[in-house]
């Protein structure tokens, strides 16, 4: 079986090998009989049974080595290393004349202030979801959010418009969110990616 995806890749080689193996063993199993009708019947039944076994085993391997999404957890539920609290008042604001009402959490700073929040994840593989923007009523549109993973700057946002992101972070020991100026970050959540058997 060829997938015709534009190149003969490893997936095509594996599919062809599995198909040939199933066909070969079905043929060998079926044509041991003298009767042609019996040979064809056994060959077809063998091909179906072997195909089900190969597909089932392949799906099991695929699920075993593919990470799945864990539960969505609000970032502020974790304790910061600085033992700081996130703003829980969740006041609404406008960005681009659209009313924003944070539902989970709100990270912000005002004016020239810089706020930092550091969380420990102990090497977990996480995906971070967030919303970013600078409110219309800010004294200026100067502000940015920097997300650092394990001491390395990973993402920077400074757009005044509202943006939403879901970012695979990989293995994280320490996550730091730094907010400067009039930037706001809200409804920040994460989910751990893990194997089903863990």
Per-domain boundaries in the chain = 10-64, 69-193
Q: What is the pLDDT of residue 85?
A: 66
Q: What is the pLDDT of residue 112?
A: 77
Q: What is the pLDDT of residue 52?
A: 94
Beta bridge partners of 114: 180
Q: What is the pLDDT of residue 159?
A: 77
List all residues 6 or more positions away from 193 whose beta carbon is below 8 Å from its beta carbon: 67, 68, 69, 70, 125, 126, 127, 168
Q: Within the chain, where are the H helices?
A: 10-30, 36-64
Please tell me the distance from the alpha carbon of residue 23 to that of residue 83, in angstroms, as a whole number.
63
Instruction: Identify the CA nearest to 117 among candidates 87, 159, 160.
Output: 87
Architecture of the domain delimited by 69-193: Sandwich (2.60)
- In a structure prediction context, what are the per-residue pLDDT tens digits for the chain, which is 198 residues long? 445 555 667 777 888 888 888 889 888 888 888 888 888 999 999 999 999 999 999 888 888 888 888 899 999 888 877 766 666 678 888 988 899 999 999 988 876 788 899 999 999 999 999 999 888 887 776 788 999 999 999 988 887 788 899 999 999 999 999 999 888 899 999 999 988 777
């Amino acid at each position: 079986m060829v997938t015709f995806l534009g190149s003969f890749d490893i997936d095509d080689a594996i599919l062809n090998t599995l198909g040939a193996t199933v066909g070969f063993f079905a043929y060998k199993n079926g044509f041991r009989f003298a009767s042609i009708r019996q040979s064809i019947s056994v060959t077809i039944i063998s091909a179906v049974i072997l195909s089900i076994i190969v597909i089932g085993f392949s799906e099991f391997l695929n699920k075993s080595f593919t990470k799945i999404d864990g539960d969505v957890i609000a970032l502020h539920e974790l304790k910061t290393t600085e033992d700081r609290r996130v703003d829980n008042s969740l006041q609404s604001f406008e960005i681009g004349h659209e009313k924003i009402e944070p539902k989970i959490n709100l990270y912000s700073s005002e004016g020239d202030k810089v706020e930092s929040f550091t969380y420990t994840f102990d090497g977990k593989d996480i995906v971070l979801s967030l919303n970013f923007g600078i409110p219309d009523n800010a004294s200026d549109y100067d502000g940015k959010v920097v997300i650092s993973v394990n001491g390395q700057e990973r993402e920077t946002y400074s757009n005044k418009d509202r943006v939403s992101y879901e970012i695979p972070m990989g293995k994280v020991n320490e996550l730091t969110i730094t907010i400067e100026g009039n930037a706001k970050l809200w409804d920040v959540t994460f989910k751990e990616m893990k194997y089903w058997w863990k």
